[in-house]
Amino acid sequence: MLAGKRALVTGSTSGIGLAVARALKAKGASIVLNGLGDPDEIERLREELDADFKGANLMDPGAIAAMMEEVGVVDVLVNNAGMQHVAPVEDFPPEKWDAILALNLTAAFHTTRLAVPGMKAAGWGRIINTASAHSLAASPFKSAYVATKHAIAGFTKTIALELAEHGVTANCISPGYVWTPLVENQIPDTMAARGMTREEVINDVLLAGQPTKKFVQPEDVGAMAVFLCSQAADNITGANFSMDGGWTAK
């Protein structure tokens, strides 16, 4: 389905981005991985996916420009890299605010503006942004994250309109809690901090807002990304797909 297409997935050395890269690869796309992490592990992933790897720090617009220049034409752009910081607004470190805006929002502007000319020239393209349930609803103490996720949904709708007549679609996927190493690693500390069992942490803390009481699996997000790249999705643009176990239905 995606043979001959090149997909750049940002933040694909771990979690959701890696699952999306694997899913697009399974449909024949050639993959460009991006992200941070252990060089040996990244090399293992690069070999597994027969992929290119670009280690650009996406908080640096100059590094993004250099990466996009090296990669050349991108047919599928998945803006996925993101970070979180949890603190009351009056204690929120300004440098964390700036970092979260740079990674979760501004990086997607730069990759998109640099990928769009090639997509327009090709008359086909897919831009998929990993937003979040927090693009639609807020939680306390996540001011920067929620601001960026609402903003990426607005950005996505805007570029969808701009590109609508060029064969290029732009959509968001908005997961609730996804079972990634990042989430799994929080469980032992939360058990200790709250004096809870593993099951209590999972059900009463992590999944409290997710009515299905089930984590979204990274592979589910990969499958949605594949669908959005399919011909059946040619006329789906500017949409924001919730995959949150009913969180934002409440």
**Which residues sit at the interface with ligand NAD, rule CB under 6 A?**
11-17, 34-37, 57-59, 80-83, 103, 130, 132, 175, 177-178, 180-183
Cβ-count burial 11-23 (b if 16+ within 10 Å, e if not): bbbbbbbbbbbbb
Choice between 135 and 237, CB closer to ligand NAD:
135
Cβ-count burial 183-218 (b if 16+ within 10 Å, e if not): eeeeeeeebeeeebeeeebbeebbbebbeeeebbbb
In the bound complex, what is the minimum distance in angstroms from residue 132's beta carbon to ligand NAD? 4
Residue 23: which H helix or E strand, with range?
A: helix 15-26
Choice between 20 and 29, CB closer to ligand NAD:
20
Three-state DSSP class for residue 222 = helix
In the bound complex, what is the minimum distance in angstroms from residue 235's beta carbon to ligand NAD? 25
Active site residues: 145
Choice between 3 and 249, CB closer to ligand NAD:
249
In the bound complex, what is the minimum distance in angstroms from residue 17's beta carbon to ligand NAD? 5
Q: Which is nearest to 178 in space by CA: 226, 130, 135?
A: 130
In the bound complex, what is the minimum distance in angstroms from residue 80's beta carbon to ligand NAD? 5
Choice between 121 and 208, CB closer to ligand NAD:
208
